[in-house]
Amino acid sequence: MKDDLSSLEHFPELNEENIKAAAKRREKYSLSRDLMMQENNEAISRRLAKEEKETRREDSTQVDPEEAIKTDE
């Protein structure tokens, strides 16, 4: 337990300045993480919409073999 990172000797003294700095770092990280997730979600949404559009296009261009036989006769 000597090397335990929760030991107070590994962290600076808790004072108002350090607490405010830590809160600011957490807020900055949180905002950057939220922005990254928003961008990722938008990219995923675009990819899924594109795949759905391509699937619909392929479905509309595919001809049922029985329908092809009927039209040939």
Q: What is the pLDDT of residues 49-71, one digit of tens each?
A: 999 998 888 777 765 666 656 55
2 — pLDDT class (breaks 50, 70, 90): low
- Nearest of 12, 32, 31 to residue 22 by alpha carbon: 12
1 — pLDDT class (breaks 50, 70, 90): very low
Contact 12, 18 (CB under 8 A): yes
The pLDDT of residue 23 is above 50: yes
Amino acid at 17: E
